[in-house]
């Protein structure tokens, strides 16, 4: 089932619509944004130069630095009287990035989130337990409005208070869970303490998870922990919030709602476009935004795309789950590695959990990589010899698969601090030196 017939349109029809909306967006920013007009003029470009989708390569990139440099409303293209909603980031690494929405923008957001729920098999008969944070972050309210759009009952639980979340999910009979994957796993661990038959007390059938780069191993663990279908949603506040892409039941690849978002993959070092199937940095141009239209926004996320149609009947191009971030990539003694690659190795090892922490330091002039991994409860009761063999197995797998030497430290179950939001996986002490 598709929510909107455009999801299964012919590629020619999709691209015709994309071009029309791209041209309209370019005209909008050129006429209403001093920032973009100056950028275009520097490059000698006018809206008339955009006659095909390929011409988007002529346009300048936009970065998070540009948003911060024009804090708070400098890139808005509508007067504040037309702004219906304002969200922002936390600003922990500088000024927050501020985003605005007109009523039309809100309608688009509701539409794409309704598609996300439909992809997960949700209908008006479902009860959605929303454990994303409400407030300035886009997660909570984005999911809330999407659930209302399809007519489902929404429980605005927000984040934190694990015991209360579990009580509400159990007593209200929630059938759809919306949260970060690490919080879902944390809730399952807490629920399991109440008894091994905890799943019999819940009616969940599917979960919609996002906000974190996630390996296949973590997806499988969350799915098994709750006995549900795992659906992933991708988005970012600068573009819309959650709702740029999501996967259906037929594939792990995420359908990009390209009638609203034009996506590209580029080499993060050179900015050159990369072919379908090749991993690089994801660049997004929203095609229907009014309050904050951005041109070629560099997300910093690493992924790949394909135009191969899906078995579900949708013809939208698809992207793989985010592998990592450009600024998340670790360089260990000259070897490039993403945390999700390390997580994949851990996921394929029996006897350990996916609760881990990567610590990078210097030993003299050499990089030193240490990985703390929680073992399962069963392993803790076994001999030290088995622990030693398990440690060697993981270190060998990391060297064989990723070409990195790592010191693995196996720690007790539930000893690594949990995060109620996005998991903090990396501690890079080299930055402190």
Parse the chain into domains and list their residue ranges: 1-325, 330-432
Express each pLDDT in 190-226 by its tens digit. 999 888 899 999 999 999 999 887 888 889 999 999 9
8 A C-beta contact, residue 297 and residue 238: yes
Measured CA to CA in angstroms, residue 321 lies from 122, 209, 231, 247, 342 at distances of 21, 12, 11, 9, 15
CATH superfamily of 1-325: ANL, N-terminal domain (3.40.50.12780)
The reported pLDDT for the residue numbered 92 is 46
- The Cα 401–Cα 393 span in angstroms is 12
Q: Architecture of 330-432 per CATH?
A: 2-Layer Sandwich (3.30)
Between 202 and 324, the more confident residue is 202
8 A C-beta contact, residue 229 and residue 205: yes
pLDDT band for position 377 (cuts 50, 70, 90): confident
For the four alpha carbons of 142, 146, 149 and 155, in that order, the dihedral sign comes to negative
| Domains 1-325 and 330-432 equal at CATH topology level | no
What is the arithmetic mean of pLDDT over 321-338?
83
The reported pLDDT for the residue numbered 195 is 85
The reported pLDDT for the residue numbered 11 is 96
- The Cα 403–Cα 426 span in angstroms is 19
pLDDT cut 90: percent of the chain above it:
75
Read off the pTM.
0.85
């Amino acid at each position: 089932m598709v929510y909107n017939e455009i999801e299964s349109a012919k590629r020619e029809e999709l691209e015709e619509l994309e071009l029309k909306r791209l041209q309209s967006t370019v005209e909008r920013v050129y006429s209403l944004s001093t920032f973009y007009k100056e950028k275009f003029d520097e490059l000698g470009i006018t809206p008339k130069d955009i006659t095909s989708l390929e011409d988007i390569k002529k346009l300048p990139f936009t970065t998070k630095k540009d948003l911060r440099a024009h804090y708070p409303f400098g890139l808005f293209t509508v007067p504040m009287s037309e702004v219906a909603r304002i969200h922002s980031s936390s600003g922990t690494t500088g000024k927050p990035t501020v985003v605005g929405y007109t009523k039309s923008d809100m309608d688009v957001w509701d539409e794409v989130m309704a598609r996300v729920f439909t992809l997960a098999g949700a209908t008006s008969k479902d009860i959605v337990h929303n454990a994303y944070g409400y407030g300035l972050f886009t997660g909570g309210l984005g999911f809330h409005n999407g659930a209302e759009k399809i007519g489902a009952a929404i429980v605005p639980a927000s984040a934190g208070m694990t015991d209360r979340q579990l009580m509400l999910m159990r007593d209200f009979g929630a059938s759809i869970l919306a949260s970060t994957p690490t919080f879902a796993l944390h809730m399952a661990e807490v629920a399991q303490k109440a008894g091994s038959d905890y799943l019999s007390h819940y009616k969940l059938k599917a979960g919609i998870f996002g906000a974190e780069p996630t390996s296949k191993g973590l997806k499988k663990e969350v799915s098994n922990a709750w006995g549900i279908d795992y659906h992933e949603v991708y988005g970012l506040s600068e573009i819309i919030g959650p709702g740029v892409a999501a996967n259906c039941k037929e594939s792990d690849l995420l359908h990009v709602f390209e009638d609203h978002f034009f996506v590209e993959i580029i080499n993060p070092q050179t900015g050159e476009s990369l072919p379908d199937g090749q991993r690089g940095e994801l660049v997004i141009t929203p095609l229907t935004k009014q309050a904050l239209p951005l041109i070629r926004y560099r997300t910093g996320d690493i992924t790949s795309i394909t135009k191969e149609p899906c078995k579900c009947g949708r013809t939208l191009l698809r992207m793989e789950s985010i592998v990592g971030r450009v600024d998340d990539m670790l360089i260990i003694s000259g070897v490039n590695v993403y945390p999700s690659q390390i997580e994949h190795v851990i996921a394929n090892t029996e006897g350990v959990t996916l609760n881990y922490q990567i610590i990078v330091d210097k030993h003299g002039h050499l990089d030193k990589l240490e990985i703390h991994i929680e073992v399962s409860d069963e392993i803790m009761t076994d001999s030290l010899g088995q622990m030693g063999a398990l440690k060697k197995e993981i270190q060998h797998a990391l060297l064989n698969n990723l070409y990195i030497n790592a010191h693995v430290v196996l720690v007790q179950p539930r000893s690594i601090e949990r995060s109620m939001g996005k998991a903090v996986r990396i501690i890079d002490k080299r930055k402190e030196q």
